[in-house]
Structures are given as structure tokens and as C-alpha cells.
Amino acid sequence: MKLVFNKNEKHEISVFSKTDDGSVEFKYIDMIKSLISVKQLEEPELIGEFSDSEKESISSMINHINTEVTNFYSEGEE
């Protein structure tokens, strides 16, 4: 699953999930289902003017989620 973060001219950020059919509104339940089946999120896509701090924060969040999912599944294999 790939998340798309879109920042408009009013500095409002919206999040979408990128699918084969296009983009759909982000839903946590869809993200969880994807993490169960694929076990990781792809690098996010950023649309609009994001500061370096915002970019780093989003990237860090995705990396943290992926690390936690990897750890969860590796603990289950023991």
C-alpha cells in the first residue's frame, strides 16, 4: 500500500491510499488489512509544498510502522 499526502495552498494535508484503480480516501482499516497481507507500506508520495521537517516526519512514521510490523511477524516465527 502506498500513502499519498497532499498539501494544498491553505496548508491542509489530506491522505489517500494509492491503488491500481487510482487514489481512494485513506482508511485505517484498509491500512491494517494491507499490513497483514503485504507486511509493509511503500515509500509515501508527497504532493504539494512540504517542509523538510514534514517530509522527515512522514518518512519516519512510515519507517516506524514498517519496523513494528516486521518485529511483530518475526516474533511470531520463533
CA distances 4 to 10, 17, 25, 76, Å, are 17, 6, 10, 30
For residue 59, the model assigns a pLDDT of 97
Comparing CA positions, the residue from 50, 30, 51 lying closest to residue 41 is 30
Comparing CA positions, the residue from 62, 1, 71 lying closest to residue 31 is 1
For residue 21, the model assigns a pLDDT of 81
Count how many domains the chain has.
1
Q: What is the pLDDT along the chain (78 residues), one digit of tens a residue?
A: 999 999 999 999 999 999 888 889 999 999 999 999 999 999 999 999 999 999 999 999 999 999 999 999 998 665
Tell me phi and psi for residue 76, to 5 degrees: -70, -20
Q: Are 26 and 3 spatial neighbours (Cβ–Cβ below 8 Å)?
A: yes
pTM of this structure: 0.84
CA distances 48 to 37, 71, 74, 77, Å, are 30, 33, 36, 41
Domain of residue 21 covers 2-76
